[in-house]
Every structure is written in C-alpha cells, then in structure tokens.
Amino acid sequence: MREGGLEAPFRRPLDWENPDFYDEAKLDAEMRRVLDICHGCRRCFNLCDSFPRLFDLVDESATMEVDGVQPSDF
C-alpha cells in the first residue's frame, strides 16, 4: 500500500459467509485489536466520530486502556 496514491481505492470483500464472522469472541478480539491501534495512532481523530466515544470509554474503564472497555460498550 502506498500513501497518497491516485489509484482507485480497493475494497476488501467481507467474509460474511465464514462462521468466524459471527463468533462474538473473535469479534471482540478484533475490535480490541483495531481500537488499540487507533487509540495509539490517533492520526485521523478529527475525521472519525468514533474517537470521542473511544476516549470516553477508555477514560471510564478500570484499566484506562482499551482492554478495560466492556464488550457490551463496543
């Protein structure tokens, strides 16, 4: 992947027919993986409406990290 390219964006297909797609434990692990990366990166915090909520959830969690956010809050 190259930053700043002029090529048309590539859309990755969702593997929604895979049973793993509906596995709540795997969904939780993937949400935590992605949000932990975004919480550390914050590059697009002013473009993505998820950030105010993510920061609030992290601040309110017992660990003050993404791992302390309750699955129901995702």
Length in residues, the chain: 74
Answer yes or no whether residue 38 interacts with ligand SF4 by CB under 6 A: yes
Answer yes or no whether residue 43 interacts with ligand SF4 by CB under 6 A: yes
Measured from the CB of residue 38, what is the shortest distance to ligand SF4 in angstroms?
3
Measured from the CB of residue 17, what is the shortest distance to ligand SF4 in angstroms?
26
Binding site for ligand SF4 (CB under 6 A): 37-38, 41-44
